[in-house]
Structure 1
Amino acid sequence: MAENMLKFVSLPQAQPEKRSAVDRNTDFNEIYRSFVAESAEEQASRCSQCGIPFCSVHCPLGNNIPDWLKLTAEGRLREAYELSSATNNFPEICGRICPQDRLCEGNCVIEKGFESVTIGAVERFVTDTAFEEGWVAPQAPAFERGTSVGIIGAGPAGLAAAEQLRAQGHTVHVYDRHDRVGGLLVYGIPGFKLEKHIVERRHRLLEQAGIVFHLGMEIADRDGEGRVSFDSLRARHDAVLIATGVYKSREMGGPGAGLSGVVRALDYLTASNRLSLGDRVEAFESGLLDARDKDVVVIGGGDTAMDCVRTAIRQGARSVKCLYRRDRANMPGSLREVKNAEEEGVEFVWLAAPEAFLGDGHVEGVRAARMKLGLPDATGRRSVDPIENGSFTVPADLVIKALGFDPEPLARDWGAPDLATSRWGTLKVDHLSFETSLPGVFAAGDIVRGASLVVWAIRDGRDAAVRINEWIENKALVGAVAAE
């Protein structure tokens, strides 16, 4: 064992410097500063190099974390980057937005008693250093196969698959409805977690590798201006990968649900991100999606809710409250994000479920019920029950519903009735081959597994690329045998 490892017994955990709440509330820049080389090496040296690396086991990508931590501790940063990027197409993104407290760091062997290794911060430092030093290069193929793959969706699953397939020598075309590459990385995640030039930098690399992007392009049931039919797409490519993600916001009914000022989380976050990118956003200019000087209530307890409350703070809201029907210990979002939100001035109202939206034309408040935790349900999660006579009202000029996302009805919208879906609306696939009910059409990411983490989307995209490459090779082999 190298003598510069296992320093967790003498060296305390240290995160990168975090900007003060007063400072960071004034802009949408990332809140963590990067490690300097000495700090990154010191923190990497805390790794115990354990026999069973539970950090890797609990990483969806199976990243070789102890190995690149050791290389970092030894100052061998280029090798650390090469090892990290061998299993992860976008380590600089995962280092910023992965919920490490629930994944790698949360399962670090030294967590009990010594605090975990700061894996995410080291991952970010290593990759940012690689970009600064010019070590990151486009993955150009060794030879061209003369085959093409069409990918629908320029989010993390689609981009990961595109890079892997291009490296195998396939011509890759990526189609996306938006005008920028990245999907929710650009329009759903605020800049204080992921600055947009980080995504644009990857976009440029992928283009340099030869990947062709068709932006502002809708997939539809027929060809036309700004759209291409699903059938046309299948005809022009040897294989197609559907990686659209899930964008349909879950709705909440009840009295007052249609009042002005009750908005969906994705609409709100997209408007804010577009504004930061320099776009003109009419719904923001009208005041509908602007939280300035308003009492804001966000409903939900996931990471999207955290993004909304922290965005509202930066827009200058008078007050920001988050209503969640369970308690802190049972919320699905990252506890690190909850802590950041509280530092920035967000108030959490735990065990509170909305009953109605109050107002005359425009929302003025949310009537909520006090809840209590009951017995565990079939999933093992404790149920929630209302407390009798526990209603109360929270003033609100803007209510943001952050209740999660469901799939859009792709089979209907694309005129593809044979594209099989599950009872939840996700696409059915063979989970070994990633192939859908249509031959040569594959699917990966959230459109298959439902709304999930970016790191899982990357994993799915990589795995699907392997299966697509095998399918194309087998098809060519069968064709060659038939020709003989």
Structure 2
Amino acid sequence: MTSKMLKFVSVSQRQPEKRTADDRRVDFDEIYEDFVPEQATEQASRCSQCGVPFCSVHCPLGNNIPDWLMLTAQGRLEEAYDISSATNTFPEICGRICPQDRLCEGNCVIEPGFESVTIGAVERYITDTAFENGWVKPTLPVQERTQSVGIVGAGPAGLAAAERLRAQGFQVHVYDRYDRVGGLLVYGIPGFKLEKHIVARRHALLEESGVVFHLGQGIGAGAGELAFEDLRAKHDAVLIATGVYKSRELGGPGSGLAGIERALDYLTASNRRSLGDELPPEASALDAQGKAVVVLGGGDTAMDCVRTAIRQGAESVRCLYRRDKANMPGSTREVKNAEEEGVMFEWLAAPEAFLGDSHVTGVRATRMALGLPDASGRQSVEAVEGSSFTLKADLVIKALGFDPEPLPQLWAQPGLDVSRWGTLKVGHDSFMTSLPGVFAAGDIVRGASLVVWAIRDGRDAAASIHQWIEDNVTASAMAEQG
């Protein structure tokens, strides 16, 4: 045990400096400043080096957090990066967008009496320092293999799998219908949480590693799309890592009015503007400038929407959520940031109807009350009679979650089994779907979830693909030679 640790009793928690709300409202730059070396060392030294590290236990990737905190406190940053990157394909991304308050930091054992260690900020600092010093290298295999793997989806699950498979020497091809690598990392998450050059940097590294990207390439039966059967014929194994992009809808009177938009459409348009893309004239409907904005939902996507609307110069931004603040699914840190930036929250409120003739002008909502726990364990919600009220709205954004697209129908694969939620069924340990040699990972299997879980699934699926190829493709080739 190093004497540099266990300083939580004498050193207070300190997050990286945060830009003022006035400054960050006018751009899409990240809101947190970088730690200076002395701050990172000091904050890492607060770790208690406990025998059972709940931070690691509650990290989906099982990151060896106490180890790289100790190395950071000792100034051994290159070793800290080696430990961090051994379990996490993209630590610089997780350090920025993971809800640490619900995962590692939220389970820090010093939290009951002392504020938790700033794990996410140190993780980000370690990897940014590693990039600055040239310690991050392409993944080059010791020996090349002839077998190839096709990956559908260039989001976090697909990219994590691509990196692991390339490390084993497989020829890896990634197909994505969008024109940039990253999936929701690029088009769904705003720049104030994750600047896009961070993702582009990883894209470049993967290309240097030998991963081949086929961008703008959809899978299906449409014009210019690659048939799934042809994709399977090209590769020894296929991984489906498409994510879930189908927005959940909300009915009710007036739900078809113009000005009621899906969260992903809204965020994609905003991110494309920030990236310098030219958008069609109709995309002006997805700009909040000068508008009264109402966002429906209480998750992290809703927080991304309200904070984006603030930066676009909305007249007012309100978030309508049917439960209270304590029961919202989004990160409490993101709610705090939104409140600082001027977002107004209507807790315990749900929409009844949307007002307007051809274009939305308002949302009629009703107050809600929490009732007894339902079958899931969460408190049920009940409308309060006679509590209706109206919010002005020129733009309503539905941030109600995402469901999977119907891949068996879109890809003409009736043998591709799905669950009752529409997600792909896979073997619990194998990640293989009902089609031999076809695997799946990430949100398309578990439903809309966290980026860190997608990375975990991608890495685990890569290991299963490696084993399956060893057991089947290689064995078949040897049998033919014999």
* TM range, smaller chain: over 0.9
> Which residue in 2 is equivalent to 1:306?
303
Quick one: structure 1 residues 457 and 283, their matched pair in 2 at CA, closer, same or farther if it must change by over 3 Å? farther
- 8 Å Cα contact 1:56/1:62 also seen in 2: yes
* Pairing partner for 1:328 from 315, 325, 343: 325
CA distance in structure 1 between the partners assigned to 2:476 and 2:28 by the alignment: 54
Which residue identity does 2:67 align to in structure 1?
Answer: D
Note if 1:377 corresponds to 2:377. no
> Which residue in 2 is equivalent to 1:54?
54
CA distance in structure 2 between the partners assigned to 1:371 and 1:316 by the alignment: 30
> Which residue in 1 is equivalent to 2:154?
154
Deviation at residue 480 of structure 1 after TM alignment: 1.7
CA offsets, 1:17-44, max 9 Å, x none? 0000000000000000010000000000
CA offsets, 1:233-263, max 9 Å, x none? 0001000000000000000011111101000
Deviation at residue 280 of structure 1 after TM alignment: 1.1
CA distance in structure 2 between the partners assigned to 1:175 and 1:411 by the alignment: 18
> Which residue in 1 is equivalent to 2:92?
92
CA offsets, 1:349-382, max 9 Å, x none? 0000001100010000000010000000111100
> 472-481 or 244-253, which moves further after superposition?
472-481
> Which residue in 2 is equivalent to 1:392?
389
> Which residue in 2 is equivalent to 1:116?
116
Q: Secondary structure at the match of 1:268?
A: helix
Deviation at residue 483 of structure 1 after TM alignment: 4.4
CA offsets, 1:65-117, max 9 Å, x none? 00000000000000000100000000000000000000000000001111000
Deviation at residue 482 of structure 1 after TM alignment: 5.8
Which residue identity does 2:44 align to in structure 1?
Answer: A
> Which residue in 2 is equivalent to 1:19?
19
> Which residue in 2 is equivalent to 1:239?
237
CA distance in structure 2 between the partners assigned to 1:419 and 1:434 by the alignment: 13
> Which residue in 2 is equivalent to 1:294?
291
CA distance in structure 2 between the partners assigned to 1:145 and 1:388 by the alignment: 67
Mind listing any 5+ residue stretches in structure 2 that lack a counterpart?
Answer: none
- 8 Å Cα contact 1:271/1:283 also seen in 2: no
- 8 Å Cα contact 1:142/1:169 also seen in 2: yes
- 8 Å Cα contact 1:271/1:284 also seen in 2: no
Deviation at residue 281 of structure 1 after TM alignment: 1.6
Q: Secondary structure at the match of 1:426?
A: coil
Q: Secondary structure at the match of 1:353?
A: strand
RMSD: 0.9
Aligned length: 481
* Pairing partner for 1:359 from 356, 370, 373: 356
Deviation at residue 431 of structure 1 after TM alignment: 1.1
* Pairing partner for 2:312 from 308, 312, 315: 315
Deviation at residue 284 of structure 1 after TM alignment: 6.3
Note if 1:33 corresponds to 2:30. no
Which residue identity does 1:330 align to in structure 2?
Answer: N
Quick one: structure 1 residues 459 and 251, their matched pair in 2 at CA, closer, same or farther if it must change by over 3 Å? same
CA distance in structure 1 between the partners assigned to 2:79 and 2:313 by the alignment: 44
- 8 Å Cα contact 1:54/1:108 also seen in 2: yes
Note if 1:251 corresponds to 2:237. no
CA distance in structure 2 between the partners assigned to 1:415 and 1:376 by the alignment: 41
Q: Secondary structure at the match of 1:80?
A: helix
> Which residue in 2 is equivalent to 1:194?
194
> Which residue in 2 is equivalent to 1:427?
424
Deviation at residue 282 of structure 1 after TM alignment: 2.0
Quick one: structure 1 residues 71 and 93, their matched pair in 2 at CA, closer, same or farther if it must change by over 3 Å? same
Note if 1:471 corresponds to 2:464. no
> Which residue in 2 is equivalent to 1:404?
401
CA offsets, 1:283-308, max 9 Å, x none? 565x3011011100000000000000
Deviation at residue 477 of structure 1 after TM alignment: 2.0
Note if 1:76 corresponds to 2:65. no
* Pairing partner for 1:272 from 265, 270, 281: 270
Deviation at residue 128 of structure 1 after TM alignment: 0.2
Which residue identity does 1:339 align to in structure 2?
Answer: K
Q: Secondary structure at the match of 1:71?
A: helix
Quick one: structure 1 residues 284 and 28, their matched pair in 2 at CA, closer, same or farther if it must change by over 3 Å? farther
CA distance in structure 1 between the partners assigned to 2:220 and 2:303 by the alignment: 33
Which residue identity does 1:164 align to in structure 2?
Answer: R
- 8 Å Cα contact 1:355/1:366 also seen in 2: yes
CA distance in structure 1 between the partners assigned to 2:141 and 2:477 by the alignment: 24
Which residue identity does 2:384 align to in structure 1?
Answer: I
CA distance in structure 2 between the partners assigned to 1:430 and 1:290 by the alignment: 43
CA distance in structure 2 between the partners assigned to 1:307 and 1:289 by the alignment: 14
CA offsets, 1:184-204, max 9 Å, x none? 000000000000000000000
> Which residue in 2 is equivalent to 1:166?
166
- 8 Å Cα contact 1:284/1:290 also seen in 2: no
Which residue identity does 1:46 align to in structure 2?
Answer: R
**TM-score computed with the length of structure 2 as normaliser:** 0.99
1:99-110 pair list within 5 angstroms: 99-110=99-110
Mind listing any 5+ residue stretches in structure 1 that lack a counterpart?
Answer: none
Runs ≥4 residues deviating over 4 A: none
Which residue identity does 1:264 align to in structure 2?
Answer: R
CA offsets, 1:154-203, max 9 Å, x none? 00000000000011000000000000000000000000000000000000
1:455-470 pair list within 5 angstroms: 455-470=452-467
CA distance in structure 2 between the partners assigned to 1:457 and 1:244 by the alignment: 11
- 8 Å Cα contact 1:150/1:175 also seen in 2: yes
CA distance in structure 2 between the partners assigned to 1:206 and 1:73 by the alignment: 30
> Which residue in 1 is equivalent to 2:260?
262
- 8 Å Cα contact 1:368/1:391 also seen in 2: yes
**TM-score computed with the length of structure 1 as normaliser:** 0.98
CA distance in structure 1 between the partners assigned to 2:36 and 2:481 by the alignment: 61
Q: Secondary structure at the match of 1:438?
A: coil
Q: Secondary structure at the match of 1:127?
A: helix
